[in-house]
Copies of this chain bind each other. A is one copy, B any other.
């Protein structure tokens, strides 16, 4: 199977590594990246067969093309390469965190077959150096068939996901984008706003010196790839705005509760009720792994 990967950073590189390790010889991979260091190193390591300096050259003869650049760059690549890929009869997939915009862009290219993809494997490091053959193992890989995708096209993207050790899961772009707004994009804003609020407080220098594991976990998403985060916020703005309203509503309820607690002035009396509510909330989510 001839595969082209456009963008060989954390995700694209991890796909290449996973295929090389898990199905050696089964995938002939050609890689292109904005910066040539990753593809060059991947060739040296035997992870990909060819590194090309031009994205158009990468897709020539490819059965499947994976867009693995930033969200904004992936959109631009659909526009730039879509017509040639449609003419050559290749199938397009991607690994973009927001799916409705790229699905619409692909559907607008006459004859282009597109099956969206989103492996649910985050990590805050970036670049090919951080790529990991085990990144997708036992993780969901969302598969989102476009209107012109055949059953065979969907099967091919499912096969890619399984080859990386992931579990394919079929969804519609709108549902996907609303779900990731709740579990991934609002948490990004929550982390960013925690930092903004703490930094603006008068006690920040003292607070910073005390910061422990809890602070690092709570703000880890705010340390991620800024370009990826910006693309996500811009492209999923509508679903995130909706989910952010629900989040702010829950925080407002806590504000009312805390203000009432301060006014009542009997902290000990509030402990059992608060503990029961915190335990109930924790029960909604899986244990940490």
Which A residues fall within an 8 A CB radius of B?
A: 72, 75, 101, 120-124, 139-140, 142, 169, 171, 175-176, 178-180, 182-184, 186-201, 203-204, 206-224, 226-227, 229-231, 233-235, 237-238, 240-241, 243-252, 254-255, 258-259, 261-262, 267-268, 270-276, 278-279, 281-282, 284-289
Contact = CB atoms under 8 A, between A and B. Distances in A.
Contacts of A186: 194, 197-198
B212 A184 contact: yes
Contacts of A227: 271, 275
A274 B233 contact: yes
B251 A247 contact: yes
11 contacts: A72-B268, A171-B206, A176-B206, A182-B204, A188-B214, A190-B218, A194-B247, A218-B220, A223-B282, A223-B285, A227-B275
A247 B197 contact: yes
A279 to B, nearest CB: 4
A246 B278 contact: no
Nearest to A118: B210
Nearest to A287: B223
Nearest to A139: B212
A210 B142 contact: yes
A220 B222 contact: no
Given A182-B207, A207-B182, A192 B278 contact: yes
Contact of A244 (B233, B258, B281, B286): B258
A82 B226 CA distance: 53
A93 to B, nearest CB: 17
Given A214-B187, A246-B197, A241 B259 contact: yes
A190 B182 contact: no
Nearest to A249: B197
Contacts of A120: 210-212
Given A230-B274, A255-B241, A268-B72, A285 B222 contact: yes
Contacts of A230: 270-275, 278
A218 to B, nearest CB: 4
Contact of A183 (B198, B247, B271): B198
A140 B288 CA distance: 26
Contacts of A233: 258, 261, 270, 274
Contacts of A209: 140, 169
Contact of A252 (B213, B248, B286): B248
A213 B270 CA distance: 33
Given A221-B217, A267-B235, A199 B259 contact: no
